[in-house]
A and B are shown apart, each in its own frame.
Chain A
Amino acid sequence: MLKTLFHSQLQLGLAQAGVAALTALLVVMAAARRGIHLEKDLAIAMARGLVQIVAVGSILLLLLRSPSWTSIFLLIAMIIAAGATSARRAKGMPGAFQVSTWSIACGAGSVIALMTALGVIDTPITALVPVGSMLIANAMNTNGLALNRFRSDVLAHVGEIETALALGADGKSSVSPYVQVSFEASLIPAIDSLRSLGIVWIPGLMAGMLLSGARPIYAAIYQFVLLAMIFAASGLTSLISTLLIRARVMSPAEQLILRPGQ
């Protein structure tokens, strides 16, 4: 219906964005009727998301003719932004931004570098940046989930942790059970994505490849490749961040720093 009303691609895009945003707004209104207020969060998130993706689209347009190495700077900027975003999920955790940024850089960055070196990810900027950004974005989400879960588990088990410390346990082993649980919980979405691939959803990359004329089997295999890379990047990021944050919640004198009200 929209296509009959709007003939320019830009107008059509804005109209489609408006309809999709309206649908999300209806969900928020339904939630508000049940006392769950997401209006402000959603409004900010949607406005930011739209501005950011349009900005990236514009930058990509400019970079299309740039040499491949320029994509490194774009990916580094994305990693820093991802670190800042996922650190917000770990409010009150000491050094959350540094931990998040380093973890995403090492986790997603090393997978992007390895896969590019092996030729799994193509080097032109039009391939490297979108695929790299998918890995970084998923690593960011996994990192946010891991830190958020670790924070809430530690705060809920201060008594158990300090009992272990008071009995002579070292700081790292006192919080180890919560590191393991956080790591496992953070990977549930990535595992579920792999498990339900093709049955519950046909991901965007595969749909895009099919639309651009790729052979369906290759598009399907490459989608699996992408999800496996996402799992590797997310898993490595989560592993690094939970290990780094484990050391940050203890002082040098093995005192628990992350406590309610501090």
Chain B
Amino acid sequence: MISISHLDKAYRLENGRLHHVFKNASVTIPPKVNVAILGANGAGKSTLLRLLAGVDQSDRGRISTSCSLSWPVTLRGGFLPVMSGRENCWVVFSIHGYSRESIREKLAKVQDISGIGEYFDEPVKNYSAGMRVRLGFALCMAFDYDYFLLDEITSVGDAEFRETCKTWLLARNQRHNIILVSHQMNTIRQFCQVAVVVHDHKLTLVEDIEQAIAPFADE
């Protein structure tokens, strides 16, 4: 269970004015379900993921949970472009406190899941968008989080990658859940049981996924 209460978040724009993303937003996500986050562009879906992951801080309000949440897995991915995929993954495992032996083991696993083969040792700046996402996803899957926060990543991969995603996510469904931002309603239907709708600085939980999708379906 994740409960968000009285969340305020504003960004200062370049022109000096404040842009409010959330104003007094509260929602409680029930345990053991996969969650879709729905909303128009710029409504604050990615901001919500960043706040959940703890990589950005709210101005007011609390996010409380006893579960562990991954970092937001995004299209850009938290990779340094000049380093190879392997070095990037090494850094991530290393900052999470894995020992040297287990890192070696995990790196082999990441290379295997990602399916990018030789490119694992190429600088990330030479990757295509799809390869970058494959690597980001594979890296995250090497961790044992309760919730995986996925931001739009299913939209760029090819069919094979989507199949890999599906296999991994469904296989892990017993113990792990996902919080997914996506504009592809089929993907959402496939994975998620409930939705959190971001609209007008507020968050609303919709327990019926079809009902939640309906306003966005014809986009």
A and B interact: no
Interface residues, chain B, CB within 8 Å of chain A?
Answer: none
